[in-house]
Amino acid sequence: MKRFSETEKWKDEWFSSLSILEKLVFLFIIDNCDNAGFFELNKRLNSFLIGIDESKYLEAIEGLNRGLIKSKCGNKYFIKKFLFHQKNLPLNIQNNAHKQILFLIEINKNLFDYDFEKLGANKGLISPIGKGKGKGKGKGLSIEENKEVLSSDKEIFENLKFELFNSGVWIADCERIYKTNNVKMYLTDFFNEIWLKEDFYKSITEMKKHFVSWLKIQIEKQNKFTPEKLTSTNNPKPFPKEEKTVWKKD
């Protein structure tokens, strides 16, 4: 993923006053946040990738408080000036490049005590979720209106895919709970399956719940016929023994 780098930041009073470690962590966050500037805290993974101790990483995060907005639960951050430095302000729903950003803000804004309307991301700008349910045609809609529904649903679906694939902490939790290293592979199969079946979920929370239920079934299917779980009902029945004819004397 390519990002703009504001070269003037080195002359900025706030940035220049940071410690060397804080600057390094801040640059890491800029490279790893989503396209709206949201960043999910994963101290174990992030500190490992940077090459520092978890305590040092958390200490640096605290030192960056002025440039970050912390979520209510404390596991997510919003970079205040990210959209400004990426030349994306003010946000405009008519700008195709801003639609994913507005969607990401819409699904994250309730996690923060922050006024996102100042970015232009007010309710009037957030695109409607769409008419009708799933990919199917809405009742009483014209052909052109149905095309708009399908296009809107497809766009929302792609945004949900992007959000889930970048939910690092949640993915790590799924891998730990279900003892697999292939959650992203499962996500790909899941997205293909639900879209083809026209099952459609329009919020990140709902999508996660459905994925976890689907993942449980896949894990159970894979483990059903493993040697340690084989049962007599799973084993093929042996051929019946051939009966020998016994001739009796009269």
Which is more confidently placed, 153 or 112? 112
234 found inside a domain: no
Pairwise CA distance, residues 121 & 88, whole Å: 11
User: Which tens digit of pLDDT belongs to each residue from 90-116?
Assistant: 888 877 778 888 888 888 888 999 888
* Separation of alpha carbons 185 and 192, rounded Å: 11
Shared domain for 78 and 139, answered yes or no, is no
Q: Report percent pLDDT > 90 for the chain.
A: 22
* Domain end (from 24, 52, 85): 85
Question: pLDDT grade, residue 196 (50/70/90)?
Answer: low
Residue 105 lies in a domain: no
Q: Is the pLDDT of residue 127 over 80?
A: no
The pLDDT assigned to 37 comes to 92
Q: Is residue 108 part of a domain?
A: no
CA count, 13 A, side-chain hemisphere, 63: 19
131 or 38: which leads in pLDDT: 38
Q: In the chain, pLDDT over 70 holds for what percent of residues?
A: 69
Domain of 57? Answer: 8-85
Domain assignment present for residue 231? The answer is: no
Place of tokens 């009269």: 250
Q: What is the DSSP string of 77-123?
A: EEETTHHHHTT--S--TTSHHHHHHHHHHHHHGGGSSS-GGGGT-ST
Final residue before a domain boundary, out of 85, 103, 120? 85
Q: Is the pLDDT of residue 153 over 60?
A: no
pLDDT band for position 224 (cuts 50, 70, 90) = low
Who has greater pLDDT, 78 or 119? 78
Residue 50 Cα distances to 6, 33, 62, 91, 110, angstroms: 21, 15, 16, 32, 30
- Domain annotation covers residue 217: yes
Question: 26-35, 128-137, 153-162 — which is least confidently predicted?
Answer: 128-137
Kindly tell me if the per-residue pLDDT of 78 is higher than 90.
yes
In a domain, 204, yes or no: yes
Quickly tell me which residue has 């009037």 as its tokens.
124
Task: Provide the pLDDT for residue 119.
Answer: 79
- On the question of pLDDT at 205 being above 50, the answer is yes
pLDDT of residue 136: 44
Note whether 168 and 42 are within 8 A (CB).
Answer: yes
Lowest mean pLDDT among 2-6, 40-44, 79-83, 84-88: 2-6
pLDDT mean across residues, the chain: 75
- Is 140 in the same domain as 218? yes
Pairing mode, strands 76-79 and 38-40: antiparallel
Task: Supply the pLDDT for residue 234.
Answer: 45
Domain count, the chain: 2
Q: What is the pLDDT of residue 231?
A: 44
Q: Are 139 and 216 members of one domain?
A: yes
Do 79 and 142 share a structural domain? no
| 82: nearest Cα among 145, 9, 148, 177 | 9
Q: What is the pLDDT of residue 18?
A: 93
93 or 66, which is more confident? 66
23 falls within a domain:
yes
Q: Which residues, 6+ apart, have CB-to-CB distance to 75 below 8 Å?
A: 40, 41, 169
Lowest mean pLDDT among 35-49, 77-91, 148-162: 148-162
